[in-house]
Structure 1
């Protein structure tokens, strides 16, 4: 079975590397292309057995499953232009949240799905969010679920919570990285610790926290309660955080949902035109 990948930007590359290193797809089964071909050629240097094509047409023709990893507006243009190439026996997969699967189904005869990966999939961890089209054939559902089970925890998601789920799963690592970097910078500014040492300590703390949760020693509330001894130093820190955070996360979700709604509006207009 041949797996096509159109677009080798950040997420396209992470997706390919995760599926290869996780043993879900052999390099020789990947056929890829990118608007700037040199970016796809760089992957060829790393995984010699992948096939790099100069056009999306060739990738679609030769592939059974086609992952489209380009910008949301470009997905509509590409799918419309290449609609006749997405024949009934193929499976088209978008990896971006604003593109609704029914829109894809209206444009092509292929089975359609949306899978939103996370950068954590590169470490064969985290969640991947699934939405299947009504006409997606069962063997494609099973195949995609099997593939992503090797690099993530696949989770089928309803359209009405796709944005918030993506905020947590896909954007979450960037949000947590920002908070951790802020902790590191404040530590280096307010105390005698140097930034390199603080970074090492923080990174290994995150790794340890992940292992505690993975091994189910604690839930998040139980972990906080365990560390935050009443009247202790951690409690003083938590009190500051509770006071200072205000509506930060509420505002975060409002901002991401507004951006999502704006993008979806423009994409739907382009889809309808």
Structure 2
């Protein structure tokens, strides 16, 4: 199996690192291109045998699967470079949520899928969200899911739920890390505990909490009930959190969805042209 990567920024390079580290792919199976070619060359140095090429068309040519890991505003340019070279049997996998499957099928002759990775895939954990276009056959689906299973738990979702599931899976690590950082900051400010020690303790706690919620088969509610003795310290602090955080995460969801809707419009206008007077 030969894999192409177009775009080796933060997420593209993360996927490559994870695939190579787990043995899912040998570097010799991977060809990459990037807008800044030096970044592709740097990746080839990190993974001897990986092939860095100067053009997107070359990265896609002859590959079984092509991961398209570029920003929404770059899609039109890349699609124009690929549309005449891609073949119907090839599978192009977009990792950009506001670029819709049907839009890519309109523009390209190949099979189309979309996956939303997570930074947790770097340590071969967490979910990868998967969606498939109308041309994808069962064998294509299995091949992609089997590949992603090396670095994650592949979950098939409906495209209409992309944003909220991405909030939980892909944005979630940043949100939880933000809350943890604020907890650590408060610990240092209020008690003078060493920051490195507080960070190590809090990080170990989060790791164990994740295991309780997955391997321990606890729900978040059950975990709180097990820790918070009525009238105790944890219960009193939880009451404060309930009061102070009321509606905060609703606002988070509304914010991510509003930005997603903006991005959908931008991508549509880039691919099809901006509508004028409703036409």
TM tier relative to shorter chain: over 0.9
3-state SS of paired residue (1:85): coil
3-state SS of paired residue (2:143): helix
2:248 and 2:137 map into 1 onto residues whose CA distance is 42
2:41 and 2:185 map into 1 onto residues whose CA distance is 38
Residue matched to 2:276: none
Q: Quote how far apart the aligned CAs of 1:217 are.
A: 4.7
Q: Which consecutive unaligned segments of at least 5 residues does structure 2 have?
A: 274-279
Q: Which consecutive unaligned segments of at least 5 residues does structure 1 have?
A: none
1:14 and 1:145 map into 2 onto residues whose CA distance is 17
* Total equivalences in the alignment: 273
Contact map agreement 2:57 2:85 (CA 8 A) in 1: yes
1:96 and 1:226 map into 2 onto residues whose CA distance is 39
Q: Quote how far apart the aligned CAs of 1:243 are.
A: 0.8
Residue matched to 1:180: 180
**RMSD of aligned alpha carbons:** 1.1
**2:7 matches 1:4:** no
Q: Quote how far apart the aligned CAs of 1:44 are.
A: 1.4
3-state SS of paired residue (1:62): coil
Deviation larger for 71-80 or 176-185: 71-80
3-state SS of paired residue (1:179): helix
Write the deviation string for residues 48-91 of structure 1: whole angstroms up to 9, x where unpaired: 01111111111111312100101012123311332011111111
Q: Quote how far apart the aligned CAs of 1:39 are.
A: 1.2
1:257–1:217 CA distance, 2 compared to 1 (3 A):
closer
Write the deviation string for residues 119-142 of structure 1: whole angstroms up to 9, x where unpaired: 111111100011100111222111
Residue matched to 1:198: 198
Deviation larger for 176-185 or 190-199: 190-199
Write the deviation string for residues 163-206 of structure 1: whole angstroms up to 9, x where unpaired: 01001101100000100000000111111312111111111111
Residue matched to 2:128: 128
1:56 and 1:260 map into 2 onto residues whose CA distance is 26
**2:61 matches 1:61:** yes
How do 1:36-185 residues align onto structure 2 when only pairs under 5 Å count? 36-185=36-185
Query: Structure 1 residue runs of 4+, over 3 Å off?
Result: none
Query: What TM-score do the two structures reach when normalised by structure 1?
Result: 0.97
Residue matched to 1:18: 18
2:114 and 2:254 map into 1 onto residues whose CA distance is 23
